[in-house]
């Protein structure tokens, strides 16, 4: 009963529901890419398209929460060094820009705006890719700083409680780096062909990247 309660509370939250929809979407992509039955592929693609459309519409309401987070973060004075601050500010700016660009692309697809959506989807993918790249750098830098603190604790022969806390923080930063790197690989795939591996991933590979990234995100939450 307690497990059911926790699951219900998780699904009642916007973040939890989005994470579950995300893993369903990528699982359908993975299964469709590996299926040898055309009828099954069609059904899985319809499912993934519907889930993706739902997530896109729900992101229409993310601008204000993102703006609040960006303003709360400010210039990143709470970060341990200037590199972390610069990465955080730049990533927030890209994330803030991502949402209205995606909204325009979505509205163009829905014929609500007299625009071609391709360039707007490309612009949103660029924002996503750059943001994920910066988050990888930020997480790795944070991991390194935590390692320096751990080394000082060992040399000073302090209690193991702080050591274990720092180890957990390091693990979380490494998971974040892996998750963001997977999303970066995925984001590059949607850029115009000819840039790195853009357009070269198979559907099942896109699905696998998304499933692993989603599982990491759920574990971290």
6 within some domain: no
For residue 16, what are the contacts with CB-CB under 8 A and spacing of at least 6?
9, 10, 221
68 within some domain: yes
3 within some domain: no
| Local mean pLDDT, 10-residue blocks, the chain (221 residues) | 88 93 97 96 97 96 96 93 96 97 97 96 97 98 92 67 85 97 97 93 97 95 81
With residue 37 as reference, give the H or E element that holds it. Answer: none
pTM of the predicted model, to two decimals?
A: 0.93
At 154 the pLDDT is 63
The sign one gets for the Cα dihedral 219, 32, 199, 61 is negative
Chain-centre distance for alpha carbon 195: 21
At 156 the pLDDT is 63
Residue-range definition of the domain harbouring residue 31: 14-189+197-220
At 155 the pLDDT is 61
Question: Count of domains in the chain?
Answer: 1
5 within some domain: no
At 161 the pLDDT is 73
At 158 the pLDDT is 58
184 within some domain: yes
Instruction: Determine whether 186 is exposed, middle or buried from the number of CB atoms within 10 Å of its CB (0-12, 13-18, 19+).
Output: buried
Q: Which two tokens stand for residue 66?
A: 């993102």
């Amino acid at each position: 009963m307690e497990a059911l309660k926790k699951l219900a509370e998780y699904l009642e939250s916007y973040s939890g529901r989005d994470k579950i929809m995300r893993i369903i979407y990528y699982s359908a992509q993975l299964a469709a890419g590996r299926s040898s039955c055309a009828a099954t592929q069609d059904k899985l693609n319809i499912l993934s398209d519907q889930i993706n459309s739902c997530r896109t519409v729900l992101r229409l309401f993310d601008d204000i929460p993102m703006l609040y987070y960006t303003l709360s973060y400010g210039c990143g004075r709470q970060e341990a060094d200037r590199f972390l601050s610069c990465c955080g500010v730049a990533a927030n700016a890209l994330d803030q820009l991502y949402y209205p660009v995606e909204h325009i692309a979505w509205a163009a697809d829905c014929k609500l705006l007299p625009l071609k959506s391709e360039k707007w989807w490309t612009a949103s993918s660029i924002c996503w890719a750059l943001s994920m790249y910066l988050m990888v750098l930020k997480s790795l830098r944070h991991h390194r700083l935590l390692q320096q603190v751990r080394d000082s604790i060992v040399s000073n022969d302090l209690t193991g409680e702080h050591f274990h806390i720092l180890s957990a923080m390091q693990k979380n930063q490494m998971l974040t780096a892996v998750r963001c790197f997977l999303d970066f690989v995925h984001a590059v795939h949607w850029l115009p062909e000819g840039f790195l591996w853009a357009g070269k991933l198979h559907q099942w590979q896109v699905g696998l990247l998304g499933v692993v990234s989603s599982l990491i995100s759920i574990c971290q939450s």
